Amino acid sequence: MNAIKTRKVLVVEDSRLIHKMYEVMLRPCMLIAAHDGREGLARLAEHPDVDVIILDINMPHMTGLEFLGEVKQTPDFAAIPVVIVSTEGKEEDVARGLKAGAVAYLKKPFQREDLLKIIGRLTTDRTAPQRR
Partner 1 sequence: MEDIFSALVKDFVDETQPIALEVGAQVLKLEEAWGVGEDGKALLRSLRSGLHTIKGNAAMMGLSPVAQVAHVLEDVCARAAEVEPEDRPALVQALLEGGDLLVMLIRSAPAGSLDAGRADEFVARTAVSIEAARAAGASAGLAQMPTETGAAGVVTSAPSDGERGSARIADGDVDELLELAGEAIVGQTELLRVHARLLRGEFEAGDMEVMDRVLTGLGRTTREMRDRLLRVRLAPIATLFGRYGRYVRDLARERGQPIELCIEGGGTAVDRAIIRRLSEPLVHVVRNAVAHGIETAEERAAAGKPVKARILLGAGLREGRVQVTIADDGRGLDMQAIVAKAKAEGIDTSRYGEQDLQRLIFHAGFSTAKTVTELAGRGVGLDVVAGVVQGLGGRIDVRSTSGQGTVFTLDLPVTVSLQKALVFGVDSETFAVPTGFILDTVESREKDLQEINRVLLLSWRDDFVRATDAGRLLGCQGLAEAWARPYAIVLQAGNKRGALLVDWLSGVQEIVVKPLDAALLGCRMLSGATVLAQGKVVPILDCVEVVRRVNRTLQPERSGETKAEVVYDVF
Residues contributing to the site for partner 1 (CB under 8 A): 14-18, 20-21, 24-25, 58, 60, 81, 87-88, 91-92, 94-96, 98-99, 103-111, 114-115, 117-118, 121-122, 131
What is the smallest separation between the CB atom of 32 and partner 1, expressed in angstroms? 19
31, 69, 78, 123 from 39: Cα distances, Å: 14, 15, 17, 23
CB-wise, 21 or 46, nearer to partner 1?
21
What is the smallest separation between the CB atom of 100 and partner 1, expressed in angstroms? 12
CB-wise, 8 or 107, nearer to partner 1?
107
CB-wise, 37 or 81, nearer to partner 1?
81
Integer Cα distance of 106 and 99 in angstroms? 15
What 3-state DSSP class applies to 39? Answer: helix
Q: ∠ CA 10-117-90 to the nearest 5 degrees?
A: 65
